[in-house]
Amino acid sequence: MNMPNQPSNEEMNRLFVQAIEDQRNGLLDSAGAAYQRLLHYFPEAPLLHFHLGLVHFEQGEYENGRLAFARAADLNPEDMDILFNLALTQKKTGDLAGAILSYQRILEMEPSSIDTLYNLAGCYKDSGQPAHAIETYLEVLQLVPDHPSANSNLAYVYHLTGQTERAVYYYQQVLQYQPGHQAAQHMLAALTGFGTACSPDAYVKDVFDNYSSHYERSLVVELEYCVPTTIRGVVDTGPAGKKTYDQGLDLGCGTGLGGEAFRDCVAVLDGVDLSEKMIAFAAAKHLYRNLHAGNIVNFLKSTRESYDFYLAADVFAYVGELAETLSLLRERARRDVLCCFSTENIDGCGYQLQRTGRFAHTPDYIKEVSQATGWKVVANRKTLLRKEKGRWVKGDLWLLQLGEK
């Protein structure tokens, strides 16, 4: 029996067909409203909850999507598409344990589902279960030996757990199937001691795109990172001259931690970063006038802006040879500029690509390259940058002003 004022079956069908068409054409608000209306009359229709979940997912409303997919799964627990999308939203909302359970339910029905195995391995990796991650990535590779992402992530997990020889092997596997894979080339160079001048853009972008959703929680809370605020302390107490700046540039701005540290002493702040996903988080803080997605060197070559403040917090860990960057910064600098940055510290001479895939610089190298590019060091402080595997990473903080070339 129809509910009072319930549309006819023909009207209901037209509404559903139109909702599907609107969803296909990106008219998500209209599609979502239609599914909600239909659910008023058919609250236990798993297909409607599923499509509503898809709409929420496309809108970036992951918690609402998770709830819709969870309801659909309750109503139709054997539908693998529903479970797969539920797992995706569970991961998006930080429920890695829930995502693992959902993927495991799918594998009970389809043990050789490659996408499910791969995503499950990623959940194990991100939840700190490296042994399970390794085992599951190996299952993927038994089915698809040339799976580039499984090979790459397996290499990463082996690297993370100190199994260097296995990591090297699987990075080599990546390059066997994709000879131009820049991230694998870079990490293989890091692990085998082959010197390079900088990290490939594709590698850095991939690292921080993947890191963006949990970047601040991981870095600030778990690794006790506070470089921007520590630099701010050096600026406030150091011999840098003026304490307020008209126009600044945050190099490798990430999610905007640097902008937060200097918001009250830089009138206008621009940011540049390779990761568009990191920039999206920075934009939401409304700290920056302009945000540019791209390579720092390319930006400095193309911009017509000039700056009296530069910040590069934990950025030069991805740049070995700093001469070009410092030269370009000088070209875009105003006379009373202050350039602030951090570096990871090593003994010896020059710079070195470490097994972590990051660069470390000796203090002598920073002093020499600064002088050669027209800068003078006005402050240098030893510091602890962040924790890594429970141990502090040692570094230096630097303040530069214009000198003589």
Are 353 and 230 a contacting pair, CB within 8 Å?
A: no
The pLDDT value given to residue 234: 92
Give the up-direction half-sphere exposure of residue 149: CA atoms within 13 A in the CB hemisphere: 10
Q: Output Rg (C-alpha) for the chain, integer angstroms.
A: 25
Collapsing DSSP to helix, strand or coil, 322 comes out as: coil
Close Cβ partners of 73 (under 8 Å, ≥ 6 residues apart): 46, 79, 82, 83, 86, 102
CA 78, CA 74: separation in Å to the nearest integer?
9
The pLDDT value given to residue 390: 83
The secondary structure of residue 198, as a DSSP letter, is: B
Q: Which domains does the chain have, with CATH numbers?
A: 9-192 (1.25.40.10), 210-402 (3.40.50.150)
Q: What pLDDT, in 10s, does the model give residues 358-370?
A: 999 999 999 999 9
Are 317 and 274 a contacting pair, CB within 8 Å?
A: no
The pLDDT value given to residue 1: 44
Exposure string over 122-141, b if 16+ CB within 10 A, otherwise e? bbbbbeebbebbbebbebbb
| Model pTM score | 0.77
Instruction: State which residues of the chain have pLDDT below 50.
Output: 1
The pLDDT value given to residue 316: 96
The pLDDT value given to residue 196: 77
> What CA–CA distances, in Å, run from 175 to 179, 181, 374?
4, 6, 40
**SS percent in the chain: helix, strand, coil, step 5:** 55, 20, 25
